[in-house]
Structure 1
């Protein structure tokens, strides 16, 4: 099998493993049923790890994971996807930005660290560590050391 074909298969496998349950199945079709596309400036497959470098991006349905580098490891049916450098995880409702992210498919959790910013519409929440469940769309944000989380929320207006 050619190295290019092996890399393509490996990267596709990474994409399939990285985004199995993103989104809320009750409100829209499950993203895991959607085709997956990926892109990067370069990539490699070594052992059971795929690494995409340079504007790496995985897209499935309405969800997108983008970073300078994305790598994935699959062991015993559980995948761990690591993204670093200018990390963005974008859903139709939220955008999460950070310096590094680790997504574990077994529990549908993505942990984003560094200078973390979560936006939903005009609402903004900042901190240094965000734990986000991609299935339930619930988030927990924390601050490092003596730091504080910060946020701005705009109330919804009805009828005006």
Structure 2
């Protein structure tokens, strides 16, 4: 099932990160007009090939936030190319929340893939499944079924907007 959602794009680009001890640090975003990216965690590491945030890890750009128990990023030729979040993952925008067990954001494809008991909420609307693929450029989402209580099916409740009332 494909449904276009009004989710604003998020770019989780961090160019350099000193070891953090719970401090929140800002780094410039690569995408023009994307704004600064800030991040925080109970601890972290930076190497030439990646970053690792552990314990209440959070990456924020504008009003969009990715929060998880841990967030790891892959750096290739000085650029952050991929971010992986695991454990109690939440991707939050002003309009909606995506919750799952794991999320992978790949910059080259503009895709965020959230897996593991995924719950997407937008206002009163709720969509659940096992895997959600969201494209930050086109703002389209595709939910797939998965194992669990839903028997591999996606489920949703949508409330139509009423105009003129």
Q: TM-score, normalised by structure 1?
A: 0.79
Q: Which runs of 5+ in 1 are unaligned?
A: 22-29
The alpha carbon displacement at 1:135 in A equals 2.1
Secondary structure of the 1:7 match is coil
TM-align CA RMSD: 2.2
Q: Runs (4+) of structure 1 moved beyond 2 Å?
A: 5-8
The alpha carbon displacement at 1:12 in A equals 5.5
Q: Which runs of 5+ in 2 are unaligned?
A: 1-16
State the aligned residue count.
141
Measure the CA separation in 1 of the matches of 2:159 and 2:109: 31
Does residue 156 of the first structure (1) align with residue 161 of the second (2)? yes
Q: Compare the two structures and name the one with the higher helix fraction.
A: 1
Partner residue of 2:152?
Answer: 147
Correspondence list, 1:71-82, <5 A: 71-76=72-77, 77=79, 79-82=81-84
Correspondence list, 1:1-160, <5 A: 6-7=18-19, 16=29, 20=31, 30=33, 32=34, 34-76=35-77, 77=79, 79-144=81-146, 147-160=152-165
Q: TM-score, normalised by structure 2?
A: 0.77
